[in-house]
Amino acid sequence: MSVWTWRLLLFLLSAGSSLDAVDVNWLTNTVRVILGEYRIKGQFCLAANIPPNLTPEQLLQVLQTERNNEDVNGIVSGSVVYKRPHVIVAKPAGPKHAEHLVLKEILQPPFSRNRQGNVLLIFSHLSPCDMCTSDILKYLKPDVLNKWSDHAFVFDTVFNKPKSGGSRTREQVKESLKQLGNSGLGLRNIFRCYEPTDSLECHSCSSQGRVSKVCIDNESMSQQGGSSSSRSRSSSSSRSRSRSSSSEGRYRSSSSEGRYRSSSSEGRNRSISSRSRSSSSEGRYRSSSRSRKRGRYRSESRDRSRKRSSSRSSRNRG
């Protein structure tokens, strides 16, 4: 076996047991359940040890039973790390970043128990800064990730505005994600899950082997990212087609009704015009008839008068 073959084999082994990315639909549902259950405000980091065969309803039941009505947001706001068998949560505590506080606990009980066959999910509200990137590379080494059947690193918002002022360029954000992608974590297992509209969407940060734009720019449209759930876009398209068909139907109906009304009006106008011409002709006929009758009556009256006058004249001469 050649040296290059050995190097390729070692690289594949170091990349983890799974060569396929985490299923995006499963990830979207899982992140939705976790965020809805804990509702942490501001920057935080969360590690979840999740059996992949649980439905969203079953996962919610597990988390609620484990939380036991505790106010997790209140706990971690007091610089305390929340540690349970399925979840670890922390917020920044002074100079210590949330990622550091969470990742150093993932190999400790109770979280480290019953991880066989489970998925390790790391969620951070903000994408990694330079220091956090170093911590992630330090703790999420291939030998650690291999203790789970699969893994994913997820963030919500692109970190581009440090508290110290200034801004973080797209190239700096991209470089952090590239460093993580070149590690055992793998770029295909880094996702951005956020709500560009009113529903959660998860997009892979890997687009044809490069860092996708949606993971380095908060203003980027979701279509410019990598893989994502298409159910929202599909239902939106269906609704658009339905509205279009409905509008078209209404237009055709209105158009037909308009043509019917126009034809009816035209028919009525023709009928009225016909009746008018008929009435006019009838009136002219009646007028001519009356005139002819009056003429014959006057002519006959004059004849009778002349006859009577002739008769009287004849009697006088005789």
What does the pLDDT look like over 278-294, one tens digit per residue?
A: 444 444 444 444 444 44
Neighbours of 53 (CB within 10 A): 8
d(CA 90, CA 47): 9
Q: What pLDDT was estimated at residue 13? A: 37
pLDDT of residue 195: 93
Distance in angstroms (rounded) separating the CA atoms of residues 34 and 180: 23
Task: Say what the pLDDT of residue 162 is.
Answer: 86
What is the reported pLDDT for 222?
54
Q: Which residues of 166-188 are buried (b: 16+ CB within 10 A; e: fewer)?
A: eebeeeebbebbebbbebbbbbb
User: 202 near 31, Cβ under 8 Å?
Assistant: yes
- In this predicted structure, what is the pLDDT of residue 141? 92
For the stretch 60-97, pLDDT in tens is 999 999 999 999 999 999 889 999 999 999 999 988 99
The greatest distance separating any two alpha carbons of the chain, rounded to the nearest whole angstrom, comes to 170
Torsional class of 16: left (φ above 0), alpha (ψ -120 to 50), beta (otherwise):
left
Quickly count: other Cβ atoms within 10 Å of residue 258's Cβ: 10
Which pLDDT does position 8 carry in this prediction? 37
Give me the helices (H) in 50-165, please: 56-67, 72-77, 98-103, 130-139, 142-145
Residues of the chain with pLDDT under 70: 1-20, 221-318
Please tell me the predicted confidence (pLDDT) of residue 164: 79
Domain boundaries of the chain, sorted by first residue: 3-229, 230-281
